[in-house]
Amino acid sequence: MREAYTDQLDSILDDLVIMTHQVKRAVSRATVALLSGDAAVAEEVISGDADIDSAREKIEEKSFELLALQQPVAGDLRQLVAGLRMVAELERMGDLSVHIAKVARLRTPNIAVPESMEPMFRQMASVAQQMVSKVAVVIAERDVDEAAELERADEEMDKLRRKSFAKILDEDWEYGVEPAIDIALLGRYYERIADHAVSLGRRVVFLVTGEHPVSED
């Protein structure tokens, strides 16, 4: 019983890893759409979100079956519930990629991000993508140390977001209100992706150690 349970829990974690890769691709393609203004890529991200949603449904079904068949208690149960929360967060990261792609689509064939802000957004996106990659590793290898790295990467993201705010609020800002709003919202979407990555890392720490590393805000 115990062993069957562990095998099936592992299989759910494997599914989460695959789903994390789907999310990583969504973040990456959304960024391409954003920085190239390519409407087809934006559409690909927007319509592709259905695959991430159905991955969520599949993993949820599997978790419910496992809950019903194995009736795990206490610690095991908490782990399965943690898995259910992880899948919800991954889906949300997919939604945030869709939000980014929709900003891109709204401005196409123009590019929402002014040229002078492009390096900053490239960096923001790169931090986000690296974080999502790291989440996949953390889940696959139950790597608690790598999970701690996510917290550091998140600080980098916060710094970038503050810098982007400084730019759009600078008196030298020459692009007007619309791009400033795009940038404020895009910054929020990338920041939320990073927040979810941190939260996923914390959930894995909880899965491995049974303890929450730090309180979530």
Binding stretches for a copy of itself (CB under 8 A): 53, 64, 67-68, 71, 73-74, 77-78, 81, 84-85, 88, 95, 165, 168-169, 173, 176-178, 180-181, 184-185, 188, 215, 217
3-state helix, strand, coil in the chain (%, to 5): 85, 0, 15
* In the complex, minimum distance from the CB of residue 73 to a copy of itself, in angstroms, rounded to a whole number: 5
The residue (of 78 and 142) whose beta carbon lies closer to a copy of itself is 78
User: Shortest approach of a copy of itself to residue 48 CB, angstroms?
Assistant: 14
Q: Which is nearer to a copy of itself, 64 or 118 (CB)?
A: 64
CA dist 150 to 89, 93, 191, 199, Å?
A: 15, 15, 13, 9
Nearer to a copy of itself, 11 or 71 (CB): 71
Three-class DSSP category at 37: coil
Shortest gap between Cβ of 188 and a copy of itself (angstroms)? 7
Burial class of residue 169 in the structure, from the number of CB atoms within 10 Å of its CB (0-12 exposed, 13-18 middle, 19+ buried): exposed
Q: Which is nearer to a copy of itself, 24 or 161 (CB)?
A: 161
How many other CB atoms sit within 10 Å of the CB of residue 161? 20
Find the Cα–Cα–Cα–Cα dihedral 82, 67, 4, 209, rounded to 10°: 20
Closer to a copy of itself by Cβ: residue 40 or 181: 181
Q: How far is the CB of 129 from a copy of itself (least distance, A)?
A: 23
Least separation, in Å, of the C-beta of 81 and a copy of itself? 6
Inter-residue contact 83 to 142 (CB < 8 Å): no
